[in-house]
Structure formats: structure tokens, C-alpha cells
Structure 1
Amino acid sequence: MDIILVPGFWLDASSWDGVTPALEAAGHRPHPLTLPGKESSEVSRAGISLQDHIDAVVRVLDGLPAKAILVGHSGGGAIIHGVVDARPEKVERAIYVDSGPLGEGGVINDELPAEGDDVPLPPWESFDDADLVDLTDGLRQAFRARAVPEPRGVACGRQHLRDERRYHVPATVIACEFPSAMLREWIAAGSPFVAELAKVREVEFVDLPTGHWPQFTKPDQLAHAILAAVDRTATGTAGTA
């Protein structure tokens, strides 16, 4: 199975290095992506939009011979949902890693401090304690050393969706910072935060308790969770949890 891995803010394809070996060992073909403007800190991010990132993933998907699994971490969840909307017939399952689908007109995060066209990785003090669980000093140093500014147009750009077939594509939410029980409570209460997720017909929840970056803090467990979702998809045993 082809598995497209879309990183969250400030990260490139290498952020999946702790996850991809297990996927390959299981016989799958992982495709970790570096999205436009994320190639290095030196490249220009002027004019790069959320739609540009969605389109970049669509191009990879279109180049594959069959349906694929999409995995999106954090802000990458909004991106893969845009891809599901653009190519619902090409996506076997969407896996949201501490993230979820972003609905029509939504933005990923327009409150992050920007410097021109760039949104740099903020100081750690700007994050909630729940974000930073298990992110040791060493992991924080490595993260900051590899971080690339996010294009402002991606953080602030509005999601535009057109095809309601996106709701028929099965989804898995790997819940890290917020437990799945809390997500289900929000859905039951009609919270706007999960309104788009609530419309997806088949959603399963998998708990992976850690902070917001499980690919760094618990890479083996994240790989296992992704593989389990892929296996359930292949056997047709995945269902609503």
C-alpha cells in the first residue's frame, strides 16, 4: 500500500524518519513529503497558500497507480482533508495524527506570530503543557534545529471544499494531546471544533497518549497505530469507534 505522509507545521519529510522504517518493513511504500516553501529556511515562502500544499499532495497521489492512504500530522490534517475532497476516489483512508479535518472556510491557525511571509517555530513557552508531553530537552533541541518556517499563506489560508464524497472516505484519528473520549464528547455536544469530523461517515479513534509530536516522542507506537489502521482497511474490519 502507498502511504503518503504529510508533516505538520515547521516540519519536512525527514520528520517521519522514525516512522517510515516500520512501514517499509511491513511491505508498504511510504511517501514522506516536503511541501512547497519547506525545503529550507532560505527559500522564499511568498505567495505559497494552503491550496498550494493541497495541490502538491494531489500531484503525488495522482502519480500513484492505485488508491493510497493519507496520513496528516497537525496542520497536515487540514491538507489531507483538502486532498480527500479533491480526489475522494483515490483515497483508501485518511489518518489524522493529533489532528482532524478542517471544514469549509476554516483556517489552520491565523494566530501564530508571523514575520513577513514566514511563521517561525514559536518559543516553547508559547505552547500548552499538553503539547510538550514527552518532548525532552534533547528532542526540543533537535526539533528546533530542523524547523523550517511555515508559509504564512498556509497558516492563514481558508479551506475550500467542493465534493461531499469526502465524507464517505473512512478516517482514523490518532488521539495524542486530547484523548478520544474527549473528542467524542465534543462531537456529541456539536462543538464547531469537530464539526467537519462529525460528518465523516466512518471514523475510528485510536489513543496514543503523548504530546503533539508523536513522530518524535513515540515513533514506534505511532508507526504501529498507522499500520494497524492500514491493516484494518485492507481487511475491511475498521469501523466506527
Structure 2
Amino acid sequence: MTSSAISPTILLVPGYWLGAWAWEEVLQHLTAAGLHALPLTLPGLDDADPVRLTRTLDDQAAAIEKAAQDAGGPVVVVAHSGANAPVSLVLDRRPGLISRVVWIDSGPAAPGVAFAPDFPKDAEALPLPAFESLGHQASLEGLDAEQLERFRSRAVSEPGPIVRRPVDLTNDARFKVPTTFVCCSMASAQVKELAAGGHPMFAEVAHLKTVTYVDLPTGHWPMWSRPADLAGVLVSEVASA
């Protein structure tokens, strides 16, 4: 068993439409392994927040930063999917606060990029799309009907200010934070190839100084399709941190 007194705190940051609840199964495995993990619900994704639709990427980054500071020791940030924008902001602003970042079927955001820059200004939020449409954007492999129903019933629409906002990054020290890519719907060989070829979505990858790749073949939501295996990867990465 790993001692939580000397191990990093693991901050589990979910992607679009998700809250801390998305990590429930992974959290059980991490706790059983003796690790201290804290799943987050980012500002804007708390359905009980009466002003959640006004929350911004800066609010989300501030929440992650506060959680890392409150940990009182080394922190590993695990970022899934669309969590890459606020996590990239934290890495840019406080790179020394994070001992390792683990991207789950995701990667660092590039400067000036927004999730949906043309999202209508009069639209308050982006709801979870129909699964037929979502499946063309991100793999649903490994999710059964019950898991999809839970996803649908618990998903929270993403605030417009968050999906429209470009990410402002200026600090090259973010590239020095040790980085792990957990590659699920896209194999690590393809990620490396796209990064080497200068693909815009992977522009930041080529600048990273210390990188580890782990293949975990499944769909875009491995916390549900392969929770035990994902937790095992995180246990290994925490040991290296």
C-alpha cells in the first residue's frame, strides 16, 4: 500500500458536462490502493449553483489552483477531455504547483484556441448532444446502455462563456511539467505522429520536455469503460511522480 502521507494528492478533473460523480468508480480503486484522490466539480458544472451559467475558464482554473494549494504537498492533476483548457491555464500560471499532469484522452490546449469560438453569443449553454451526434466526435466504445443513461441523466450543460473563451498562454515553463498521455480513442503512435507533423491539435505536445505515453484502448470515457485499468495507470504515474 502506498502511504498517502508521502504520496501526491491526485486531483481528478472531469471533462465537459461532467462533475466529480464521473470519477466514482476510479476513486474506489484509488482509495483501495491507499492513495488520496480528490474529484472536482468545476465552476459552471454544479447544477445547484444559481449563477453557474456565468462561470468562466478563469473561475475553473482558480478552483483547480485552490485545490492544489489546499493539498499542502505534491499534486498530480488528472485532466479528462475538455478539462484541458482550465488545466492548461493552471500549468501556465503556476507550473511549480503541479508535480505531474496526466491527460486522459486529451492534451494541452494551444494558445488562442477555444472549444467553440463560433458558439452563438445569445446561447447560454451547450447541452450534451444526442449520442448519435456525440459518437461522431468522440468514441463511445465500451459504454453500455446503463452507463449512457447515467451520462444523460447526470450531465450538466456547459456554460457559454467557457466554450467560447480562447485560452491565453504565455509561460513556456508549462512545458517543463512532467506529462503523461493516457491514449484511449487514439493510439499513442498516432498522437506522436500528429505532433511530429505539426498538427494544430497537437502543437503543444512537441514542446513538452518530459513525456510518457500509455495506451489504454477504449472509448473517450475510460473512467466508465475501464475504471480499474485507468486507476492502475494512475497508481503507476503517481509512483513516478
Question: TM-score, normalised to structure 2's length?
Answer: 0.91
Please give the alpha-carbon distance, in whole angstroms, between the structure 2 residues aligned to 1:53 and 1:170. Answer: 22
Separation (CA, whole Å) in 2 of partners of 1:39 and 1:26: 29
> In structure 1, how many angstroms separate the alpha carbons of the residues matched to 2:125 and 2:36?
32
2:157 partner amino acid: P
Q: How far has the Cα of 1:42 moved from its partner?
A: 7.0
Contact 1:10 1:149 in 2 (8 A): yes
Output aligned runs, 1:105-184, within 5 Å: 105-110=112-117, 116-128=123-135, 131-184=139-192
Residue 186 in structure 1 maps to residue 194 in structure 2: yes
Q: Which amino acid in structure 1 is aligned with residue 183 of structure 2?
A: A
Which amino acid counterpart does residue 24 of structure 1 have in structure 2? T
AA in 2 matched with 1:27? G
Unmatched segments (≥5 aa) in structure 2: 1-7
After TM superposition, the structure 1 = structure 2 runs for residues 46-125 of structure 1, keeping only pairs within 5 Å, are 46-110=53-117, 116-125=123-132
Instruction: Find the aligned partners of 1:42 and 1:125 in 2 and give their Cα distance.
Output: 29
Distance 1:181 1:114 in 2: 38
Displacement of 1:44:
3.3
Asked whether the 8 Å contact 1:113–1:120 carries over to 2, the reply is no
Task: Note if contact 1:2-1:30 (Cα within 8 Å) is conserved in structure 2.
Answer: yes
| Residue 114 of structure 1, CA deviation | 8.8
> What is the deviation of 1:47?
2.5
Structure 1 position 41, deviation (Å): 6.7
Would you say how many aligned residue pairs link Structure 1 and Structure 2? 233
Shift of 1:177: 0.8
Contact 1:101 1:197 in 2 (8 A): yes
Residue 223 of structure 1 aligns with which residue?
231
* CA positional deviation for 1:131: 1.1
Q: Tell me the distance in 1 between the aligned counterparts of 2:118 and 2:105.
A: 19
Q: Distance in 1 between matches of 2:74 and 2:160?
A: 31
**Which residue of structure 1 lines up, in the alignment, with residue 4 of structure 2?**
none
Change (3 A) 1:99 1:109: farther
State the distance in 2 between where 1:42 and 1:49 align: 13
Unaligned runs of 5+ in 1: 234-241
CA distance in 2, matches of 1:102, 1:201: 16
Q: Cα–Cα, structure 1 residues 112 and 146, in superposed 2: closer, same or farther, change >3 Å?
A: farther
Q: Does 1:21 align with 2:34?
A: no
State the 1:111 CA deviation. 6.2
Secondary structure at the aligned position of 2:91 is classed as: helix
What is the TM-score when the length of structure 1 is the normalising length? 0.91
